[in-house]
């Protein structure tokens, strides 16, 4: 549908943001349902998140996706936070409730839904080693714990791993690299793998049969870690399904419609 005077606008803010796949995902979803909505990307520099949230109010933007480096600043700028966003102190999605702006975080549910849909895995009772302790690691550790799993955090900086465990609680813990041997799922939640010359995020010789290896990196689609895991006969998943499912939850929150995941997946070359 061609944008017109009644078109409702959603957007992503971030820096950088021109590489984002979110416009493709959401615009495919709007088109599939014939909704008079459009989704655009706004580069917003570090330190300008509060102004971007104010602009959302002024311009009547219906929904906002939030990516690096603004997830924490937006949590401080909205009127209310969902329980998950409040625990994480990070927002990846803003919705409107009348005049009030509500901060949500859909990364964790996106991750769990991607496990269900692509690997037929239910986290309940499973142990997952998460490499990294940043925003993405926090979201998936909390979701894993809330779904009855155990999150084990392996990070370069011990203090960040300890802070994550304090937030998530449950059976989560800080671990060393050899914990990978005992895991059901191993997740790379660092940016390692985005560049060709990056080192592997952990010693892949610790992997063993029966495990699943998930890389949250989605560009490239097959990182060196996933190549190594496949060579060992393990189940693998890249970051695209999590990206799709977290977007699907945002779509649902903004429009009230069930997200057309098949059309959205197709727009980013993913088969469900
Ligand atoms: P972040 O908050 O900046 O956290 C990065 C984490 O990686 C930190 O724990 C950091 O360790 C660690 N790290 C960074 N460089 C490292 C290196 N050279 N060696 C070892 N550890 C390193 O980033 P994020 O937002 O969590 O994102 C992490 C990754 O997940 C990115 O690749 C991002 O694109 C991806 N992601 C994917 C999705 C999806 O939907 N698929 C969603 C969100 C994020 P320190 O604590 O020691 O600094």
Q: In 81-195, which ranges are continuous DSSP H helix? A: 83-88, 107-114, 135-146, 158-168
Our count of domains for the chain comes to 2
In angstroms, the CA 238 to CA 35 distance is 30
Same domain, 87 and 196: no
Cβ neighbours of residue 112 closer than 8 Å, sequence gap 6 or more = 123, 143, 144, 147
259 close to ligand 1 (CB < 6 Angstrom): no
Same domain, 72 and 159: no
Structure tokens, 244: 């799709």
CA 131 to centroid of ligand 1, rounded, Å = 9
CATH number, domain containing residue 158: 3.40.50.720
Which ligand 1 atom is nearest residue 238's CA?
A: 41
Q: Is residue 218, in this structure, part of any structural domain at all?
A: yes
Same domain, 81 and 169: no
CA 13 to centroid of ligand 1, rounded, Å = 18
Same domain, 99 and 118: no
CATH number, domain containing residue 256: 3.40.50.10860
- Strands 93-97 and 100-104 come out as antiparallel
Domain that holds residue 24: 8-105+241-267
Same domain, 123 and 234: yes
Q: What is the pLDDT along the chain (272 residues), one digit of tens a residue?
A: 899 999 999 999 999 999 999 999 999 999 999 999 999 999 999 999 999 999 999 999 999 999 999 999 999 999 999 999 999 999 999 999 999 999 999 999 999 999 999 999 999 999 999 999 999 999 999 999 999 999 999 999 999 999 999 999 999 999 999 999 999 999 999 999 999 999 999 999 999 999 999 999 999 999 999 999 999 999 999 999 999 999 999 999 999 999 999 999 999 999 88
């Amino acid at each position: 549908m061609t944008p017109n005077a009644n078109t409702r606008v959603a957007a992503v803010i971030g820096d950088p943001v021109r590489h984002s796949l979110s416009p493709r995902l959401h615009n495919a979803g709007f088109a599939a349902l014939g909704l008079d909505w459009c989704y655009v990307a706004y580069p917003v520099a570090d330190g300008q998140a509060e102004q971007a949230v104010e602009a959302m109010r002024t311009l009547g933007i219906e929904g906002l996706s939030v990516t690096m480096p603004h997830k924490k600043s937006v949590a401080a700028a909205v009127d209310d936070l969902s329980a998950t966003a409040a625990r994480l102190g990070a927002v990846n999605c803003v919705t409107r409730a009348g005049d009030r702006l509500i901060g949500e975080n859909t990364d964790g549910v996106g991750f769990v839904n991607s496990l269900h849909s692509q690997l037929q895995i239910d986290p309940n009772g499973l142990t997952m080693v998460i490499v990294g302790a940043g925003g993405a690691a926090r979201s998936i550790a909390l979701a894993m714990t809330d779904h009855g799993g155990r999150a084990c955090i392996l990070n370069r900086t011990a203090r960040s791993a300890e802070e994550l465990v304090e937030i998530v609680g449950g059976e989560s813990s800080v671990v060393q690299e050899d914990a990978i041997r005992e895991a059901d799922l191993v997740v790379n939640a660092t940016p390692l793998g985005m560049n060709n010359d990056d080192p592997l995020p952990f010693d892949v010789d610790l992997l063993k049969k029966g495990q699943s290896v998930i890389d949250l990196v989605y560009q490239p689609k097959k990182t060196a870690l996933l190549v190594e895991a496949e060579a060992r006969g393990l189940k693998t998943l890249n970051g695209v399904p999590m990206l799709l499912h977290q977007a699907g939850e945002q779509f649902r929150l903004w429009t009230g419609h069930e997200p057309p995941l098949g059309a959205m997946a197709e727009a980013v070359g993913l088969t469900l």
